[in-house]
A and B are shown apart, each in its own frame.
Chain A
């Protein structure tokens, strides 16, 4: 039943975009620039649009099928402005054979006829690169392959578009020279300058968000490049944030499964080679000897351990807590060294946790009597992607009227009860599950709840009662004589 309801807007929007939208805009220029990286690739596409009709307010962006599947985060802004525009995705269905996906963007104000606007689509693709060759020995370089569609699709007519692929180093191994694009471009379709490969400009492209065009002209282009940072992914991140009002404490603990997704180590690890590489300051590009993490300021009691105990090879520089309402953000810097350097294909699991003053992230609202707490979803690790994340927020015992505002919707969220130190009824717990988180996702969940005075006092009362009954029992026990007959004095 719900399916049918869902299909109606889908059909409606389909009709709207296929009938109304194509006429209303024209792309004067599209520039897509791709910053090649490890697991995460940033794609910034700038559309210079021109309204063909007055009052056009909804602009439609098209993404290729592959692109859509790899994109884990995207945002549309007017160029030069901070606030993202409102977007509504057309329902995306895997089973449909459509090779494109449409997104409607509501412009900040309707454009007049021939009115122009530059809008920017920022997207992060995850797991878009593959190591090639798939194995590398300790002394070899690390090379990755990235594949993208040649043309940016659009339901509108496009005057000119180009795609730039930027690697971090100018050392490129190869890139695809596209064929059969003479319709849009007379001479060489691809050129390299420095670390950048440019495809295009392609001129005068008809509305391309349809199957015919895709079948005729769309083609993948692949770039093969050296990458000098280790390619990291976090297979699973389990964060639990525990709020304690008695201790004025916010404890955050991350269980992390780290994996080096770069080329697998060929042969074996030689400590001698590793040490001589470190000595000559030429570390292997796919080895990860240490990580730098930015933890919140003002934290205490940071701990870092794994399944077999404390890891003593890390350093933490704590920044003091910022004064309330100050805008400057400071970070405590943790230099985290795994037990062993993580070579390509190796795994490492560990637990990292800390206590933070609750005042830094919580507020009490006098008007409603509610607490408002800000819980960051993740601590970003530069260049790494979190494949699966579970964020657990453990509220104080007896919290009621729980409301939460996530920055983006979770795959799944649920409410459960967590029983821990000397609890009687357990603590309400919110759990959020996410997939493919990137640096862009490092935002916060806001949770608000009420805790009554009686709930605050629940634990001391329970503990006091237990001790009181113990002493009372002992008091009685001492005074009752259970001997059957009088013993002789010994």
Chain B
């Protein structure tokens, strides 16, 4: 066989195997290092701090677990959240994340390594991203070969779509969930391939871990049955499938029901019914197979027909009746919003108000996945070429995840792994084809001249690859993806003598070089893109803002922590703080004060109450505030600094949510100007100007400009010269850049007047003194 470039021929098979194995380990270690390192931008640029909102709750819960022990955490009732309702945290939380950090924390302390629990929490996500890279490697290895696996591991290690959820400090469920997702899928594929109950059980255990860790476990709950169903429908039912699915479903479901927050959902809610149905179907199919092996073909066909019809009718009827009776819960609102993107905005504004629940914008696909997004379909097509059982899995996964990623920004995360796997398969196939030195035969009679292949025993294993056979080679100058693809070639090499030289192929080294060089450029640009996106877009803690001084040094805007720490140090420990729900977890975590609502948005009415307080006038809001024992109100105001994520910009969602409960008292249109604009300047509607939110945001803001026109830098509007006055609340604290403003709710007037007339009375005296002067001026 002619070759495009020479290969060393005096290497023993063992040397090649060992070298490849070592290279694989080293490459995986380097990929892990890269995955961890690229997530540390946030720690280096800022500090080891918990990011955003939800992680603050997870961190707080973990601290309880670490300091008080697991049982205390399990029974933890938090009276400070959702004041005055409280929250049973142990029963309403996915404890997997906290338990993981707790175990790591205790392990380190047992080794006399007194690491702070905060650092464990901050670095958990980067640590698990290294494990995710490994799990993806294992998964892709099952799809194609180890070389594709290494490519996939490298992709998932640095792809921004995954980094966005797993930078250091982003201590959220997703931090460990993607690893669990990939590893469960790997175990499932392994179980399916081998028909192994052991791997089925391992898959079930990791499924349980996943259930304990993330609400997104439903994705696995439906992906695996869907795969099984497709296999049955394609006539690919086998005992391997039966053993794998039955062991996974039975153990996994029982285990998942041990998580208190999940409880009986796996047998009661519609989301879990598919898994149960497929489990039943598998039993029937297996039974049918058994019967078929014992009765004649004609009888069996009759039996089959009657059986299928009867079971179908019975099953559907049972499902319908149980749903009607309420034994099976119907689909939840969040589920509907997956199919109809407008649903949430109409019926559950609270879900729609979260930015990560919005439909994905098209550019964000490119931003999060870069060139993988167009390699991805190619990878799926490559899967069709062989279409083994596991390839079907990738295809189904790709279709489902693509749809979901289009519906919600957040679900980009579940798409990312399959994109990495499919792209790695595609790219690996490309490299295999173009690095392979074998030149196509023009003359069919030429005998293979390849002296490199030594082994001759045919090994028709499951790992067969579609690329042409290649003699082994390990060349130092070749970059890692290529050198690792040598392993696939070794396997292939062992079978090379069995293969006939192909008529199709690539001639010459220049063609190869061109394509390979192009692919390398793509990979290099991908690395640059990932680093840039990670450092610029995904590494901001959002608790701390950064700006640049005129001399180029970094200036930290730390208003949030300033205000939270003030609350923590200088207010009564039981003072209730009212704020919009976004800041609930942060207040609980950093200020350690009770809050009315927080990011665990379980009680829509309570949130609407807060919305109503913000949207109403002082007179209306005051009794509500007093009834809820509110002592402090916290608003976020970005007008001075130009911080656009402030409460005035979120205000319309508060109005909408309040309107959902009190349609007579709060109406969205009254907050707009007659021309339908949302304005805060002179033309703002009276309702807007009288609302608590407006007043608290702009209280004394105009005075800051010392007579000049006050400008709101977020909305670029000029404010009225005379700012709003407050009667029922006092300004208690304002942070350095005015981002956080805290107001204290006044106690009832001791004389029983309402605060407005009390204030008017005390100011009236002053006014008497000044009024004549004004009049005189007016006359003159």
A residues near B, CB below 8 A? Answer: 267-272, 275, 306-313, 339-340, 345-349, 419-424, 489-490
Q: Answer whether residue B736 sits at the interface, using C-beta atoms and an 8 A cutoff.
A: yes
Q: How many A-B residue pairs have CB under 8 A?
A: 84
Are B461 and A346 neighbours in the complex by a CB distance under 8 Å?
Answer: no
Are A271 and B735 neighbours in the complex by a CB distance under 8 Å?
Answer: yes
CA distance A339 to B733 in the complex (A): 13
With A271-B736, A271-B738 in contact, do A422 and B570 touch (Cβ < 8 Å)? Answer: no
In chain B between 432 and 491, which residues have their CB closer than 8 angstroms to a CB of chain A? 459, 461-463
- Min Cβ gap A284→B in Å is 15
Type the 1/0 row for B629-660, where 1 means its CB is closer than 8 Å to any CB of A: 00000000000000000000000000000000
Q: Contacts of B703 on A, CB cut-off 8 Å?
A: 272
Are B459 and A489 neighbours in the complex by a CB distance under 8 Å?
Answer: yes
Q: Contacts of A490 on B, CB cut-off 8 Å?
A: 193-194, 461-463
Q: Answer whether residue B292 sits at the interface, using C-beta atoms and an 8 A cutoff.
A: no
- 6 residue pairs bridging A and B, Cβ less than 8 Å apart: A269-B731, A271-B735, A313-B556, A340-B566, A422-B111, A490-B194
- Min Cβ gap B701→A in Å is 9
Q: Answer whether residue B561 sits at the interface, using C-beta atoms and an 8 A cutoff.
A: yes
Q: Contacts of B734 on A, CB cut-off 8 Å?
A: 269-272
Q: Answer whether residue B25 sits at the interface, using C-beta atoms and an 8 A cutoff.
A: no
Are A423 and B193 neighbours in the complex by a CB distance under 8 Å?
Answer: no
CA distance A308 to B744 in the complex (A): 23
Are B558 and A313 neighbours in the complex by a CB distance under 8 Å?
Answer: yes
CA distance A349 to B111 in the complex (A): 30
In chain B between 159 and 197, which residues have their CB closer than 8 angstroms to a CB of chain A? 193-194
Contacting residue for B570 out of A270, A272, A309, A347, CB 8 A: A347
With A268-B730, A271-B735, A340-B565 in contact, do A422 and B113 touch (Cβ < 8 Å)? Answer: yes
- Across the A-B interface, give the 4 residue pairs with the lowest CB-CB distance, nearest first: A271-B734, A312-B556, A310-B47, A339-B562
In chain B between 530 and 586, which residues have their CB closer than 8 angstroms to a CB of chain A? 544, 556, 558, 561-566, 568-570
Q: Answer whether residue B268 sits at the interface, using C-beta atoms and an 8 A cutoff.
A: no
CA distance A347 to B569 in the complex (A): 6
CA distance A484 to B569 in the complex (A): 64
Q: Contacts of B564 on A, CB cut-off 8 Å?
A: 308
Closest to A343 in B: B570
Q: Contacts of A270 on B, CB cut-off 8 Å?
A: 700, 731, 734
CA distance A310 to B541 in the complex (A): 13
Are B590 and A308 neighbours in the complex by a CB distance under 8 Å?
Answer: yes
CA distance A75 to B730 in the complex (A): 50
CA distance A275 to B704 in the complex (A): 9
- Min Cβ gap B134→A in Å is 17
CA distance A347 to B462 in the complex (A): 69
Q: Contacts of B700 on A, CB cut-off 8 Å?
A: 270, 272
Q: Answer whether residue B114 sits at the interface, using C-beta atoms and an 8 A cutoff.
A: yes
With A267-B730, A271-B735, A419-B112 in contact, do A308 and B561 touch (Cβ < 8 Å)? Answer: yes
Q: Answer whether residue B49 sits at the interface, using C-beta atoms and an 8 A cutoff.
A: yes
Contacting residue for B565 out of A268, A272, A339, CB 8 A: A339
Q: Answer whether residue B732 sits at the interface, using C-beta atoms and an 8 A cutoff.
A: yes
Are A349 and B569 neighbours in the complex by a CB distance under 8 Å?
Answer: yes
CA distance A306 to B566 in the complex (A): 12
Contacting residue for A421 out of B47, B113, B561, B730, CB 8 A: B113
- Min Cβ gap B415→A in Å is 29
Q: Contacts of B558 on A, CB cut-off 8 Å?
A: 311-313, 339
Q: Contacts of A310 on B, CB cut-off 8 Å?
A: 47, 49
CA distance A227 to B315 in the complex (A): 86
- Min Cβ gap B197→A in Å is 14
- Min Cβ gap B352→A in Å is 31
Q: Contacts of A311 on B, CB cut-off 8 Å?
A: 558
Closest to B46 in A: A310
CA distance A268 to B729 in the complex (A): 11
CA distance A32 to B539 in the complex (A): 63
Are A421 and B49 neighbours in the complex by a CB distance under 8 Å?
Answer: no
Are A309 and B114 neighbours in the complex by a CB distance under 8 Å?
Answer: no
Q: Contacts of A340 on B, CB cut-off 8 Å?
A: 562-563, 565-566, 733, 735-736
Q: Contacts of A349 on B, CB cut-off 8 Å?
A: 569
In chain B between 41 and 77, which residues have their CB closer than 8 angstroms to a CB of chain A? 47-49
With A268-B731, A271-B734, A308-B564 in contact, do A420 and B570 touch (Cβ < 8 Å)? Answer: no
Are B731 and A421 neighbours in the complex by a CB distance under 8 Å?
Answer: no
Are A423 and B112 neighbours in the complex by a CB distance under 8 Å?
Answer: yes
Among A269, A272, A340, max chain B CB count under 10 A is at A340
CA distance A340 to B571 in the complex (A): 14
- Min Cβ gap B555→A in Å is 9
- Min Cβ gap A301→B in Å is 14
Contacting residue for A309 out of B459, B461, B561, B744, CB 8 A: B561
CA distance A420 to B703 in the complex (A): 54
Q: Contacts of A272 on B, CB cut-off 8 Å?
A: 700, 703-704, 734
CA distance A346 to B565 in the complex (A): 12
Among B461, B463, B565, max chain A CB count under 10 A is at B565
Closest to A424 in B: B112
CA distance A348 to B561 in the complex (A): 13
Q: Contacts of A308 on B, CB cut-off 8 Å?
A: 561, 564-565, 568, 589-590
Question: With A340-B562, A340-B736, A420-B114 given, can you name 13 additional A-B contacts, CB distance below 8 Å?
Answer: A270-B734, A306-B565, A308-B561, A308-B568, A309-B49, A309-B561, A310-B49, A340-B566, A340-B735, A346-B569, A489-B459, A490-B194, A490-B463
Closest to B570 in A: A346
Closest to A346 in B: B570
Among A310, A339, A349, A490, max chain B CB count under 10 A is at A339
- Min Cβ gap A22→B in Å is 54
Are B561 and A339 neighbours in the complex by a CB distance under 8 Å?
Answer: yes
- Min Cβ gap A205→B in Å is 49
Type the 1/0 row for B26-44, where 1 means its CB is closer than 8 Å to any CB of A: 0000000000000000000
Closest to B555 in A: A312
CA distance A268 to B462 in the complex (A): 75
Type the 1/0 row for B208-228, where 1 means its CB is closer than 8 Å to any CB of A: 000000000000000000000
Q: Contacts of A268 on B, CB cut-off 8 Å?
A: 730-733, 744
Q: Contacts of B113 on A, CB cut-off 8 Å?
A: 421-422
Q: Contacts of A420 on B, CB cut-off 8 Å?
A: 112, 114
Contacting residue for A348 out of B49, B193, B569, B731, CB 8 A: B569
Q: Contacts of A339 on B, CB cut-off 8 Å?
A: 558, 561-562, 565-566
Closest to B49 in A: A309
Closest to A258 in B: B569
CA distance A308 to B112 in the complex (A): 24
- Min Cβ gap A482→B in Å is 13
- Min Cβ gap A323→B in Å is 33
CA distance A421 to B112 in the complex (A): 5
Are B561 and A422 neighbours in the complex by a CB distance under 8 Å?
Answer: no
Q: Contacts of A309 on B, CB cut-off 8 Å?
A: 47-49, 561
- Min Cβ gap A422→B in Å is 5
With A489-B459, A490-B462 in contact, do A307 and B112 touch (Cβ < 8 Å)? Answer: no
CA distance A269 to B114 in the complex (A): 40
Q: Contacts of A267 on B, CB cut-off 8 Å?
A: 730
CA distance A267 to B744 in the complex (A): 11
